Amino acid sequence: MAVFCFTFAAAAADVNGKWTAEITNARGTQTNTFMFKTSGATVEGTMTTQRGDTPIADGKLDGDTLTFTITRPGRNGGDPTKVVYTGKVKGDSIDFSFDMGRGPQTFTAKKAM
């Protein structure tokens, strides 16, 4: 029975595929797309914004918790910014939080059909 429960929990935390999110910031609402591919607990993929594709790094899936980092180029040739994303997988949605130095921000990504 315990093995069955563990298997069910692992299936509920499937993040493979395409996810979309509407993220509101100072420039308005933007659509971001995430492509995830898992291999065990390791997660690879990309985040696509109006600026283009950015590979995710340090991707990890631990139960229903997804974490990864994105490194954004610095403005006007400045130092790049590393942003850590943490998400809670809830079936066909992931509740994310991240902080770019201006306080935590949240958004929800939905599984694309």
pLDDT of 6 > 60? The answer is no
Domains of the chain: 2-111 (2.40.128.20)
> Where residue 77 falls among pLDDT bands split at 50, 70, 90?
confident
* pLDDT tens figures, 17-28: 999 999 887 778
Q: What is the mean pLDDT of residues 81-100?
A: 93
Enter the pTM of the model: 0.82
- Which is nearest to 16 in space by CA: 42, 35, 41? 35
Which pLDDT does position 7 carry in this prediction?
A: 44
**What does the DSSP assignment read for 43-105?**
EEEEEEETTEEEE-EEEEEETTEEEEEEEEPPGGG---EEEEEEEEEETTEEEEEEESSSSEE
Q: Quick one: what percent of the chain has pLDDT higher than 70? A: 89
- Phi, psi values for residue 5, rounded to 5°: -65, -40
Q: How far is CA 92 from CA 13, 37, 66, 79, in A?
A: 9, 15, 14, 36
